[in-house]
Amino acid sequence: MTDAYIYDALRTPRGKGHKDGALHELSALRLSAQTLNALKERNNLSGHAVEDVIWGNVTQVGEQGGCLARSAVLASDLDQSIPGLAINRFCASGLEAVNLAANQVRGGAGNGYIAGGVEMMGRVPMGSDGAAIAVDPSLAMETYFVPQGISADLIATQYGFSRNDADALAVESQRRAKAAWEDHRFDKSVMTVRDQNGLTILDRDEYMRPETNMQSLGALKPSFKDMGEAMPGFDKVALMRYPHLQRIDHIHHAGNSSGIVDGAAALLIGNKAFGQEHGLNPRARIRATAKIGTDPTIMLTGPVPVTEKILKDAGMNIGDIDLFEVNEAFASVVLRFMQAFDVDHDKVNV
């Protein structure tokens, strides 16, 4: 099987996903096209250099609907002969776009791909596309559906994480983000977003809270307590699936949960021949990919079994990995990952 390499990677700064966010004036189409152009220009690629553009996007409705990937290609400086594929694997959509592109390269279906994704949560609200698991009563009842915030609190209760644990993780995450910017670690990976006149809209992550501390987080109210304990009473649904728990401890709030943001990212992926043809040096090799489904009630524990699966497939063990990147959807997700594998926080989301 052919090796797949990452030749380049860039992202926009993360904008606040609200009407007052810096990126709100741009549509997902325009932000995607600008990201594709930045990757193309930085690597001196011709308009027809890649086989396909695979683009992850969760809320595929309205201005993010109708195969946004193809629309972004047509709005960019890529040749119109380049197709586009929009995919939705919920929060893993962008990652799955990269995995799919890598596996296409490894399987010999083209030398080079652009893969990434976009989400403009301030313009296309989360949940505006509907979802059978949430709105179809027959499936919702059968699967004991609850919102992700309830799932995050369920993980904390099931595995013994306190609010103090979650808040400490959040404070450290904000500290690391600030340090990364101050140390210029994002200089190569973060692009400047401009308006149609070429003026800078955003060149630094807008969604950061470097002043965050344990005291400020302690003043925040749990975000999911009311929907869990009062109407519509999702705690009872979750406890039907996990009857050994007496109650659910609601430890998550706005400060230790993922934010509502706007942004896009793109990677240039190809085989060895692609790099040689375009004078590029690989930054990393994609050794293996994996995917998995989990219990839809607790749902957010997926990073643990999928890590076990990919390590087994690759013939590796947890000690072979130097650094881990785990989605900070909620603090309990990362805490559970570190607990399951006995991994020190110094190696996770550095």
- Residue 90's Cβ-count burial label (10 Å; 0-12, 13-18, 19+) is exposed
pLDDT of residue 231: 84
Do the Cβ atoms of 277 and 260 come closer than 8 Å? no
pLDDT of residue 1: 85
The CATH number assigned to the domain with range 4-125+259-286 reads: 3.40.47.10
The CATH number assigned to the domain with range 133-187+218-258+292-344 reads: 3.40.47.10
Peptide bond into 13 cis (omega under 30): no
Query: What is the rounded CA–CA span in Å between residue 57 and residue 128?
Result: 13
Reported confidence tier of residue 324, pLDDT bands at 50, 70, 90: very high
Instruction: State the average pLDDT over residues 122-143.
Output: 91
User: Residue 307: CA atoms inside 13 Å, Cβ hemisphere, count?
Assistant: 21
Residue 131 pLDDT more than 90? no
92 closest CA partner among 346, 302, 330: 302
In residues, how long is the chain?
350
Q: State the pTM of this model.
A: 0.96
- Residue 244's Cβ-count burial label (10 Å; 0-12, 13-18, 19+) is exposed
Residues of the chain within CATH 3.40.47.10 domain(s) are 4-125+259-286, 133-187+218-258+292-344
Query: What is the rounded CA–CA span in Å between residue 269 and residue 142?
Result: 40
pLDDT of residue 133: 86
Give the model confidence (pLDDT) of 70-104 as tens digits: 999 999 999 999 999 999 999 999 999 999 999 99
Residue 155 pLDDT more than 90? yes
Instruction: State the average pLDDT over residues 233-249.
Output: 97
* CA distances in angstroms from 185 to 176, 178, 286, listed in the order given: 11, 10, 22
